[in-house]
Amino acid sequence: MAEEQVSEQQIRRRTMLSFIGFGLAAIVPFGLWKWIGTSPADAGVKRPLRRVLEANAGVGRGILSPTHLAPTFPKEQAAANPRVNGWDGIRSAVPAAQGYTVRVEQPGKPVLTVSLDEIKQLPKHEMIYEFKCIEGWSEVQHWGGVRLLDFVQKYGLGGKTGAATPDQPNNWYQYVGMETPDKGYYVGIDMGSALHPQTMLAYEVNGQPITGPHGAPLRLIIPVKYGVKNLKRIGTIVFTDERPRDFWAERGYDYFVGL
């Protein structure tokens, strides 16, 4: 099936799911609504509502599969000067690409240090897709780097025994957490989304090394999530079953912010 047809079908499916969501919202009895209103808040969101958000994230995960790919575009459509948004964790001097290392942690394993040069040994992928910020803008952008999936395979990461593979979810750690070197920005991502074939450790934008404001020398590009999860300037990567802290979830946004 052509890629365009696939995405249209998925859009229809998702539209249907949101209608079901609205339909359910419409029949929530008033008593229940009052109960929601009087229950304690969790990160600024009433607890029953937070449960709904998390259930929705579950629905999202169900739809997510390696066959669900974000649409891609020809190079000519990519923004020449991609928009910049968000400076948390990247206000200090831009680290040099030369000699840059990422710290990788996993329970019961010694800390692993991987250099950018080593990461660049993995197969390079380029991707032109529509980056979406939760604040209401989107832009077709051109990123280059390696698949996070290839990275976990190469270094035997993400699984309770060995590397996490897409077909063995029972072996996965549930989350990957990422932080900037100064810990000023941090995200948590469910493993299914992390292992998606379009999720990338990116070191290039428009065929050139990533610039400071876009997260030099290495950032996360994850098309199945809104911009907030696309952490710039990766310092640490952690695989864990404990939900990693997340900068914007702590400020009231949905934890999963899936697309």
Ligand X SMILES: Nc1nc2c(c(=O)[nH]1)N[C@H]1C(S)=C(S)[C@@H](COP(=O)(O)O)O[C@H]1N2
Binding interface with ligand X (CB under 6 A): 82-90, 133, 180, 185, 214, 227-228, 230-233
* Residue 163 interacting with Mo ion (CB under 5 A): no
Closest distance between Mo ion and the C-beta of residue 231, in Å? Answer: 11
Choose between 90 and 116: whose C-beta lies nearer to ligand X. 90
Residue 210 interacts, among ligand X, Mo ion, none and using kind-specific CB cut-offs from 5 to 8 Å, with none
* Residue 144 interacting with Mo ion (CB under 5 A): no
Choose between 53 and 133: whose C-beta lies nearer to Mo ion. 133
- CB count, 10 Å around CB of 189? 27
Rounded CA-CA distance 171/160 in Å is: 5
Residue 225 interacts, among ligand X, Mo ion, none and using kind-specific CB cut-offs from 5 to 8 Å, with none
Token pair belonging to 187? 């995200």
* Residue 227 interacting with Mo ion (CB under 5 A): yes
- CB count, 10 Å around CB of 58? 11
Choose between 59 and 134: whose C-beta lies nearer to ligand X. 134
* Residue 259 interacting with Mo ion (CB under 5 A): no
Which residue in 206, 228, 205, 237 sits closest to 106, CA to CA?
Answer: 237
Cβ(180)–Cβ(68) below 8 Å:
no
- CB count, 10 Å around CB of 130? 15
Give the ranges where the chain is alpha helix by DSSP (H): 3-27, 30-38, 47-63, 116-119, 148-155, 191-194
Rounded CA-CA distance 117/101 in Å is: 9
Among 43, 112, 122, 133, binds Mo ion (CB under 5 A): 133
Closest distance between Mo ion and the C-beta of residue 132, in Å? Answer: 8
Residue 87 interacts, among ligand X, Mo ion, none and using kind-specific CB cut-offs from 5 to 8 Å, with ligand X
